[in-house]
Amino acid sequence: MALSVDKTSGGREYKVKDMSQADFGRLEIDLAEVEMPGLMACRTEFGPSQPFKGAKITGSLHMTIQTAVLIETLTALGAEVRWCSCNIFSTQDHAAAVIARDSASVFAWKGETLQEYWWCTEKSLDWGSGGGPDLIVDDGGDVTMLIHEGVKAEEAYEKTGKVPDPTSSDNAEFQIVLTIIKDGLAANPKKYTKMKERLVGVSEETTTGVKRLYQMQANGTLLFPAINVNDSVTKSKGCASALKQAGARVIVTEIDPICALQALMEGLQVLTLEDVLPTADIFVTTTGNKDIIMVDHMKKMKNNAIVCNIGHFDNEIDMLGLENHPGVKRITIKPQTDRWVFPDTKTGIIVLAEGRLMNLGCATGHPSFVMSCSFTNQVIAQLELWKEKSSGKYEKKVYVLPKHLDEKVAALHLGKLGAKLTKLTKDQADYISVPIEGPYKPPHYRSSRVYVIDTQKNPKAPSLYKVVQPEDIIKKTGLAYLHTSHCLASGDIMISCLGDKDGNAEGSGFLLLDSEFNIKGR
Ligand SMILES: NC(=O)c1ccc[n+]([C@@H]2O[C@H](COP(=O)([O-])OP(=O)(O)OC[C@H]3O[C@@H](n4cnc5c(N)ncnc54)[C@H](O)[C@@H]3O)[C@@H](O)[C@H]2O)c1
């Protein structure tokens, strides 16, 4: 596509594939709204007071029909919005068209090149001479990362006159990011610094983005407050059980003994990738980690095994290794479905969405109802950040939404499913020490919260959820060293692997602690 900005007759900027699909987009939005009760309830409750009046929101999140309902909720609450997708394949072109026509500036189309993707990302941040956005809705953290890298480059440029060197990275996509920052420096050497100063905060949608935020918090480099929407309990997950329910025999690979135990308890087998290479029909990566399925693995798979990813980026599957494998042949069956044939065996594998999110690249993401829960959390997070913009309540840290708001999101979705809640009596409420109107569970209560025990005392440790220093537990339990941990549905913490103070394993064992780290059992 020629990279130039288009304008509606009313002057709103956009770049989408095909404006003639806007009416089709509107028909689908009308259907989705019925399935998104949380977002529609936000419009009814907050719309009249226009809480986002004056707020400029930039979003980087799959430009689907469900996202269109999120965008129109933000605008119904008074916000001005600019949007791009967070994935080159995930845009539904009719959704982009209708939003560009009716509601917000959109820069997104299905099948962007990486160059185009970053152009769109830059445009979503381009609020003209007034500077950047007030708020960001991010999914995977690309917009947050661009601003952080931009500020870093501008500070270095001011001090030393040095510009970023794209060849300093061997990652093709990061080279593009460094190039756009470098190209912008001479014309506007304070672009990202000004943006950072204006920004009230970001709400982040997914595990990978949240991981990046916690890493920045630990390094002390996070430039603005962040709300982690991913770990709201009402955000749903569960690819393995969905496949099982669809009749598949599901085998899970895991590195974490507790997740492995959970999978086993759900009746799933746990093996290594190597164990199943010759037998599995479909391989789905979803670790948020890199180098999970390498080209040597792919060569050992059965003919036409399907290889795909639903983790965030394209580095779980070794696409580079596959492309560079001598003699390998790529046959495109249809867009986002390629058969790769190995020269020696003449057998092939089928890779979906070029190793990127296949549920958005080859399908249309999660159902509206599922997205309603997580997007309602997004709206509430954005409202909270905007409301507290001058109060100092939120520092340059990562926060999760408080329990009562999570419960509110759940409550907004119950009616649609025909549920009726039981009301506590005053007597019962007193007996279990909770208020009649909630919150009903302690903040740490959720079914799969991970407490990362930072045994290495490494500030860059993957502090996914709550970092617990080993000393705190040692003090309470009298035990020298504890390794991995997991918070159970009850709120108790299960610890595996006991060892000595220097990190030498003493042997495997399980220990059950309550949320205050008191020992409940071994
Ligand atoms: N496609 C989508 O619609 C969608 C939706 C939500 C999340 N995501 C993405 O999916 C990814 C996973 O998210 P999550 O919330 O399930 O994270 P999670 O941390 O709960 O689950 C990932 C699991 O992978 C395991 N793991 C890590 N390295 C491994 C390895 N080498 N081999 C085997 N297992 C390994 C971890 O122990 C963990 O249990 C993230 O990148 C997230 O951004 C995608």
Tokens of 259: 């997740």
| Atom 1 of ligand 1, nearest CA residue | 310
CA of 288 to the centre of ligand 1 (A): 4
What's CA 351's distance to the chain center, in Å? 22
**Cα–Cα distance measured from residue 382 to residue 214, given in angstroms and rounded to the nearest whole number:** 19
| Atom 19 of ligand 1, nearest CA residue | 287
SS3 content of the chain, % helix, strand, coil (to 5): 40, 20, 40
| Atom 8 of ligand 1, nearest CA residue | 311
CA of 403 to the centre of ligand 1 (A): 24
Find, among 305, 400, 407, 317, the residue nearest to 355 by Cα. 317
Task: Report pTM.
Answer: 0.84
User: Given CA atoms 376, 378, 381, 385 in this order, what sign does their dihedral have?
Assistant: negative
Q: How confident is the model over 147-160, as pLDDT tens digits?
A: 999 999 999 999 99
CA of 206 to the centre of ligand 1 (A): 10
What's CA 278's distance to the chain center, in Å? 32
Please state, for a pLDDT cut of 90, what percent of the chain lies above it.
Answer: 71
Q: How confident is the model over 322-337, as pLDDT tens digits?
A: 999 999 999 999 999 9
Tokens of 428: 């019962």
**Cα–Cα distance measured from residue 371 to residue 392, given in angstroms and rounded to the nearest whole number:** 30
CA of 346 to the centre of ligand 1 (A): 32
| Atom 2 of ligand 1, nearest CA residue | 310
Q: Scan for tokens 């995930």, then name that residue.
A: 90
CA of 252 to the centre of ligand 1 (A): 12
Q: Per-residue pLDDT averaged across 276-296, rounded?
A: 96
The minimum-distance atom of ligand 1 relative to the CA of 256 is: 37
Distances (CA, A) of 341 to 316, 346, 491: 20, 6, 49
Q: Decide: 349 and 305 in contact? Cβ < 8 Å.
A: yes
The minimum-distance atom of ligand 1 relative to the CA of 140 is: 43
Q: Would the pLDDT of 298 be above 80?
A: yes
pLDDT of residue 470: 59
| Atom 9 of ligand 1, nearest CA residue | 311
Q: How confident is the model over 83-100, as pLDDT tens digits?
A: 999 999 999 999 999 999
Q: Which residues line ligand 1 (CB under 6 A)?
A: 206-208, 237, 253-256, 259, 286-289, 292, 310-312, 357, 359
Looking at every residue in the chain, the average pLDDT score rounds to 88
Q: What radius of gyration, in Å, describes the C-alpha atoms of the chain?
A: 24
Q: Would the pLDDT of 475 be above 50?
A: yes
Identity of the residue numbered 492:
D
Q: Decide: 320 and 362 in contact? Cβ < 8 Å.
A: no
Identity of the residue numbered 364:
T
CA of 345 to the centre of ligand 1 (A): 32
Return the number of other C-beta atoms located less than 10 Å from residue 95's C-beta: 31
Q: Would strands 305-309 and 348-352 be described as parallel, antiparallel, or unpaired?
A: parallel
| Atom 38 of ligand 1, nearest CA residue | 287
Q: Give CA angle at 78 (75, 80), nearest 5°.
A: 60
Identity of the residue numbered 13:
E
DSSP 8-state symbol, 121: H
Tokens of 379: 């709206």
Q: How confident is the model at residue 447 (pLDDT cuts 50, 70, 90)?
A: very low
Q: How confident is the model over 230-246, as pLDDT tens digits?
A: 988 777 668 898 899 99
Tokens of 418: 């025909």
Find, among 256, 258, 266, 255, the residue nearest to 510 by Cα. 258
**Cα–Cα distance measured from residue 136 to residue 56, given in angstroms and rounded to the nearest whole number:** 9
Return the number of other C-beta atoms located less than 10 Å from residue 146's C-beta: 21
